Amino acid sequence: MRKPFKFIFIGLALFFCISVLGALYAVSFVNPTQLAGLLSSSVKAATGRDLKIMGPVTLKLFPSIGVKAEQVSLSNTLWASAPEMLLIKNIELEVKLLPLFLKRVEISTIKLSGLDAHLQANKAGQNNWNLTPPNVAGAAGKSSAAPQAESDESNFVAIETITVTDARISYEDGNGPVKIISVPKLSLNGAGEKTAILLDLQYQHYKINLKGKTSSLRQTVLDWNQSPVKMNLDLVLTLNGKALDIEGEINKALNATPQFDIRLKSKSFDLAPLAAASLAVSGGNLPDVSKPLARQTQYFFSNEPLPMGLLPSANGKITVNIDQLGLPDKTPLNNLSGHILFKDSRIDLNDLKFALGKGQGQAQISVTDFQSDSPKITIKLLAKGFSLEQILLSADASTKVSGGATQLALNLQGKGKSLHQFLSTANGVAQVSVGKASLGSNVFNNAGDLVVTILNAVNPLHKSADQTILECAVAFLPVSNGMVTVKDSVGVETDKLDITLSGTVNLNTEEINLNINPNDKSGLTTGIDLGGLVKIDGTLLKPQTGINKQGIVSSAASIGLGILTAGISIAAENAKSLATKRQPCKTAIKPWQSIYPEAN
């Protein structure tokens, strides 16, 4: 029984000796200069770029065959502004032994230190990190080029471990300042069936950390489009000290679109660094979410494109459960949950639920054809249990307001890549109601030009009052092809005035044509109703006071009749107005179930 073990031991020893001698033999034929040339030619064949090694190149034998080089650069594409795409202070490569006998270089490990990457995109949609050589791209589909391409790619598919330290990445696209991303450390260790991931990244004042394990990234690349793939995810994303657990799996059958099922869970997470992380990863253009957006000069509702480009065309599901989601300069959302379903170019956000202060909200959002020039968007939203006080104080802590129970419902469908485009094509309805509240004068001053214009029209003396008691306010807004038509469906009741609005708002041009119908509760001006002579026109961004010609005719008739009857008819109209109490809010409001069927 001992002889077999003895033979096995001798065989292993002989194999080890032969391997060492083979390594020495192979290395003896590859001096540093030759190896540098072989690496450069391999990179040139695989990418079409020039790899230059300006510093010394050294070899090592143990514990594996490796090469170390200094002052390495990779040339840029022809249209880029910088001559080099990559500059590297130090690079270490570990090379597999057996391919050397075939005069091939297959890299198993890469270590980079002092990486400086210049990434760039042009107006034609090209990017300089596309390393497909022009001759391979032009010969796509030609069988004669396929074997060479596969051989060149094997040099890099063999990589199991990548370590990057002290890296700096710049990105520019010509639409804004150059973005700088620092990467103190990146590590991908793919030994075995798992790949361990560690990433430290900083963009502006956002610190991002990603760590955890996935199924072998190397094996996934090898199997992609060759055999079925199942990739498990177990990661933790930390943004500015707040962690998000990412778990799930990605499945891809042969010749099929990948399917994924991912679960996101967190005790506390912030939206601002999440958007910054998307920007850093995608190289896209997103607004600085930590600052309020400047108002557009052309439209009240922004015509800036929504970030549709960040939406993936994929099939799968993401489940979200976040106890507290921080919003930039806003009150955080609590108990956020929902399911995001992806099906090709359609995304459905189902069963979205959240709490904000004492209020609760639920929504369904659908986006289809988001890769087209006119994506279709459907929004259904119900928010209740909020207060006007809570909403206004979250925007401005100096606002003087109390009370004002608020409820909101939306059911809108439209098309477009911006909020303005969506509303200009919208169909559906929206309704908001506000209960009794005490409002300081600064509430109206900060409420926007449209509200201030209406108040000045119906009550020029409102500025002299320190406080207004709002009894109720309701706005029921039906929308048809971007046109809002109201007929006494906007009503406001205060301690001094009742107001109803009738007319139209064109959400495409944002032109306003609203008649104001005020009622002074004192009864001193009812009957003649001088406020009815006023209308609001202009635009949402620049409203102005106009003249209601129909109101002039009506009021003139009342005044003329009053003169003929020595004022008796005016007194009678006053008495009738006082006897018949208007209820603008009750008249305007519609059942909530007619807007959001799940409302109760």
3-state secondary structure 152-190: HHHHHHCCCEEEEEEEEEEEECCCCCCEEEEEEEEEEEC
For the cut 50, the answer to whether the pLDDT of residue 13 exceeds it is no
What would you report as the CA-atom Rg of the chain, rounded to the nearest whole angstrom? Answer: 34
Residue closest to 498 by CA, chosen among 405, 387, 578, 402: 578
Higher pLDDT, 44 or 452: 44
- Return d(Cα 278, Cα 181) in angstroms, integer: 12
- State the amino acid at position 433 in one-letter form: S
Q: What is the pLDDT of residues 285-295, one digit of tens each?
A: 444 433 444 44
**Does residue 21 sit within a domain?**
no
Q: What's the pLDDT band for 4 if we cut at 50, 70, 90?
A: very low
Task: For residues 158 and 239, state if they share a domain.
Answer: no
Higher pLDDT, 205 or 582: 205
pLDDT of residue 228: 92
CB–CB of 35/59 below 8 Å? yes
- Return d(Cα 167, Cα 88) in angstroms, integer: 9
User: How many domains, the chain?
Assistant: 3
Tell me how many helices (H) and strands (E) the chain has.
14, 28
pLDDT of residue 427: 96
pLDDT of residue 295: 45
**Does residue 576 sit within a domain?**
yes
Task: For residues 180 and 208, state if they share a domain.
Answer: no
For the cut 80, the answer to whether the pLDDT of residue 212 exceeds it is yes
For the cut 50, the answer to whether the pLDDT of residue 363 exceeds it is yes
Query: What is the percent of the chain with per-residue pLDDT over 70, rounded to a whole number?
Result: 69
Most confident of 273-277, 326-330, 435-439, 451-455: 435-439
pLDDT of residue 550: 54
Higher pLDDT, 522 or 96: 96
Q: What's the whole-number average pLDDT of the chain? A: 76
Query: 354 has which bridge partners?
Result: 361
Other beta carbons within 10 Å of 146: 13
**Mean pLDDT of the region 359-377:** 91
Task: For residues 273 and 411, state if they share a domain.
Answer: no
**Does residue 19 sit within a domain?**
no
Helix axes 32-47, 146-157, angle to 10 degrees: 120
- State the amino acid at position 475 in one-letter form: A
Task: For residues 241 and 175, state if they share a domain.
Answer: no
Task: For residues 574 and 489, state if they share a domain.
Answer: yes
For the cut 80, the answer to whether the pLDDT of residue 576 exceeds it is no
**Does residue 6 sit within a domain?**
no
pLDDT of residue 28: 52
Of 43-52, 325-334, 470-479, 527-536, which range is least confident?
Answer: 527-536
Reported pTM: 0.72
pLDDT of residue 200: 94
Query: 504 has which bridge partners?
Result: 485, 513
**Does residue 11 sit within a domain?**
no
Give the CA diameter of the chain: 135
Of 136-140, 198-202, 205-209, 392-396, which range is least confident?
Answer: 136-140
For the cut 60, the answer to whether the pLDDT of residue 163 exceeds it is yes
Task: For residues 352 and 393, state if they share a domain.
Answer: no
State the residue for tokens 């608020």: 406
Residue closest to 437 by CA, chosen among 475, 477, 390, 500: 390
CB–CB of 249/233 below 8 Å? yes
CB–CB of 518/492 below 8 Å? no
Task: For residues 263 and 164, state if they share a domain.
Answer: no
For the cut 70, the answer to whether the pLDDT of residue 148 exceeds it is no
pLDDT of residue 308: 81
- Return d(Cα 270, Cα 329) in angstroms, integer: 11
Of 99-103, 209-213, 388-392, 407-411, which range is least confident?
Answer: 99-103
Task: For residues 54 and 149, state if they share a domain.
Answer: yes
Give me the domain span that covers residue 151.
Answer: 29-135+145-189
Torsion of CA 148, 150, 152, 153, to 10 degrees: 160
**Does residue 412 sit within a domain?**
yes
Q: What's the pLDDT band for 132 if we cut at 50, 70, 90?
A: confident
Q: What is the pLDDT of residues 483-533, one digit of tens each?
A: 999 988 898 888 878 888 889 999 999 998 888 887 766 554 444 444 455
SS (H, E, C) 286-306: CCCCCCCCCCCCCCCCCCCCC
Query: 187 has which bridge partners?
Result: 163, 198
For the cut 90, the answer to whether the pLDDT of residue 426 exceeds it is yes
- Return d(Cα 41, Cα 406) in angstroms, integer: 69
For the cut 80, the answer to whether the pLDDT of residue 36 exceeds it is no
pLDDT of residue 249: 94
pLDDT of residue 393: 67
Task: For residues 184 and 222, state if they share a domain.
Answer: no
pLDDT of residue 89: 95
**Does residue 366 sit within a domain?**
no
- Please state the separation of Cα 267 from the chain's center in Å: 21
- Rounded to a whole number of angstroms, the distance between the first and last alpha carbons of the chain is 82
CB–CB of 536/547 below 8 Å? no
Q: What is the pLDDT of residues 217-249, one digit of tens each?
A: 888 888 888 899 999 999 999 988 899 999 999
Task: For residues 433 and 575, state if they share a domain.
Answer: yes
Of 38-52, 304-318, 388-402, 562-576, which range is least confident?
Answer: 562-576
533: tokens are 């002579």
- Return d(Cα 531, Cα 269) in angstroms, integer: 51
**Does residue 463 sit within a domain?**
yes
Task: For residues 326 and 214, state if they share a domain.
Answer: yes
Query: What is the percent of the chain with per-residue pLDDT over 90, rounded to a whole number?
Result: 31
Task: For residues 216 and 177, state if they share a domain.
Answer: no
